[in-house]
C-alpha cells in the first residue's frame, strides 16, 4: 500500500451566498490524510464539518483551493465527473441508512454496482460477499423493516464496501443508534480498519465515538483548530460490555 496521501487539501475555501449575505463555511483548510488512516472529524453545529465532508466526498466543490483525491485534482470537476470519482473511489455511510424500504438487503447492496453496469451475477456475488463481511450473510433477503437499526447500518456499510473503495466516508454513522448498537457499529469499523487497512473518515459530534479513531480533527468557524493523533484509541465494545 502506498504511503502517499489519499487526500490532500490545500487552502480550501467554501462560500455560499444567502440573499445578499456571503457566508464563509470553510476558510483556508489544509488537510492531508494517508492510506489506511482512521480519522474522526468533529466540531460544534455550524462549524463547517459537514461542508468539509461534502467536499471530501465530491458531493460539492470548493470555491477556492486545491483538492487532490488519490492523486487526481478534483477541485474543479463538474457534477458528472464528481459522480464518477465518487463511484470509483469513495463509499458512503449516512446517519439515516438511506436504504430502499421495499428492497432486500442484497439488492440494496448491489445498487452501486448496478450504476457501474456490473453484470447481474457478479453484482449478486459481490453483494453477498460484502454482507458476509459485516456479519449479515444470513440476512440477504430481508428488507430494512425486517432488520434492527444496527443491522440496517451494517447493510449500509456493506453497500459502501461493495465497490471496494479507497475511502469510507461515514457521516454521523451512529447518530440514530442506541449505545449498545453504536458500539457494535464502531467495533465493525475498527475491525475493517485494522484487518483490511481501510481508510475511514468519520464525522461525529460525540467524543466517545471520535475516541475510537486514530486521529481527531476539530473544525470550528470554518477552520481546522486541532489535529491530534490518538495513540491509544478507545476499543469499541467497552461501553456495551459495561452496560
Q: What whole-number percentage of the chain has pLDDT above 70?
A: 96
Which ranges constitute the DSSP H helices of 134-206?
A: 149-161, 179-196
Q: What is the mean pLDDT of residues 151-170?
A: 94
Per-residue pLDDT band for 96 (boundaries 50, 70, 90) equals: confident
Q: What is the pLDDT of residues 196-232, one digit of tens each?
A: 889 999 999 999 999 999 999 999 999 999 999 999 9
Give yes or no for residue 22 having a pLDDT over 80: yes
- 101-158 confidence digits (pLDDT tens): 999 999 999 999 998 899 999 999 999 999 999 999 999 999 999 999 999 999 999 9
% pLDDT > 90, the chain: 81
Answer yes or no: is pLDDT of 240 > 60.
no
Residue 200 pLDDT = 97
The answer to whether the beta carbons of residues 209 and 239 sit under 8 Å apart is no
Domain ranges of the chain: 5-207
Judge contact between 187 and 238, C-beta under 8 A: no
The CATH superfamily assigned to 5-207 is P-loop containing nucleotide triphosphate hydrolases (3.40.50.300)
Among 19-23, 99-103, 159-163, name the one with the lowest average pLDDT.
19-23
What's the confidence (pLDDT) of residue 162?
95
Tell me the pTM: 0.91
User: Using an 8 Å Cβ cutoff, are 178 and 166 in contact?
Assistant: no
- Asked if pLDDT for residue 238 goes beyond 80, the answer is no
Helix (H, G, I), strand (E, B) or coil at 198: coil
Those residues whose C-beta lies under 8 Å from the C-beta of residue 38, and which sit 6 or more positions away, are 189, 190, 193, 199, 200, 202, 212, 213, 214, 215, 233
Contacts for 226 with CB less than 8 Å, ≥ 6 apart: 216, 217, 218
Rounded Cα–Cα distance for residues 53 and 203 (Å): 7
pLDDT of residue 243: 41
Task: Please tell me the predicted confidence (pLDDT) of residue 3.
Answer: 57
Collapsed DSSP state (helix, strand, coil) of residue 124: helix
Helix, strand, or coil here: 232?
coil
Contact 186, 194 (CB under 8 A): no
Amino acid 18: pLDDT: 82
Q: For 40-57, what is each residue's pLDDT tens digit?
A: 999 998 899 999 999 999
Report yes or no: 168 and 8 within 8 Å, Cβ to Cβ.
no
Which of 207, 237, 210, 159 is closest to 151 using CA atoms? Answer: 159
Handedness of CA 157, 158, 159, 161 (dihedral sign): positive
Tell me if residue 5 falls in helix, strand or coil.
strand
Band (19; pLDDT cuts 50, 70, 90) = confident
Amino acid at each position: 500500500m502506498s504511503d502517499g496521501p489519499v487526500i490532500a487539501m490545500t487552502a480550501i475555501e467554501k462560500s455560499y451566498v444567502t440573499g445578499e449575505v456571503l457566508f464563509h463555511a470553510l476558510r483556508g483548510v489544509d488537510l492531508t490524510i494517508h492510506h489506511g488512516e482512521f480519522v474522526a472529524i468533529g466540531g460544534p453545529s455550524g462549524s463547517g464539518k459537514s461542508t468539509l465532508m461534502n467536499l471530501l466526498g465530491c458531493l460539492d466543490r470548493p470555491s477556492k483551493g486545491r483538492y487532490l483525491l488519490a492523486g487526481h485534482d478534483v477541485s474543479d470537476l463538474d457534477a458528472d465527473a464528481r459522480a464518477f470519482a465518487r463511484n470509483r473511489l469513495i463509499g458512503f455511510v449516512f446517519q439515516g441508512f438511506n436504504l430502499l424500504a421495499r428492497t432486500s438487503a442484497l439488492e440494496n447492496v448491489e445498487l452501486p454496482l448496478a450504476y457501474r453496469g456490473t453484470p447481474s451475477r457478479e453484482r449478486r456475488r459481490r453483494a453477498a460477499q460484502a454482507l458476509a463481511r459485516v456479519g449479515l450473510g444470513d440476512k440477504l433477503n430481508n428488507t430494512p423493516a425486517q432488520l434492527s437499526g444496527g443491522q440496517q447500518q451494517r447493510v449500509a456499510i456493506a453497500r459502501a464496501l461493495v465497490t471496494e473503495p479507497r475511502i469510507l466516508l461515514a457521516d454521523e454513522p451512529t447518530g440514530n443508534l442506541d449505545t449498545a448498537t453504536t458500539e457494535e457499529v464502531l467495533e465493525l469499523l475498527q475491525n475493517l480498519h485494522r484487518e483490511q487497512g481501510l481508510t475511514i473518515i468519520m464525522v461525529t459530534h460525540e467524543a466517545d465515538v471520535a475516541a475510537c479513531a486514530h486521529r481527531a480533527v476539530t473544525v470550528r468557524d470554518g477552520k481546522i483548530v486541532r489535529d491530534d493523533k490518538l495513540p491509544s484509541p478507545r476499543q469499541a465494545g467497552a461501553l456495551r460490555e459495561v452496560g
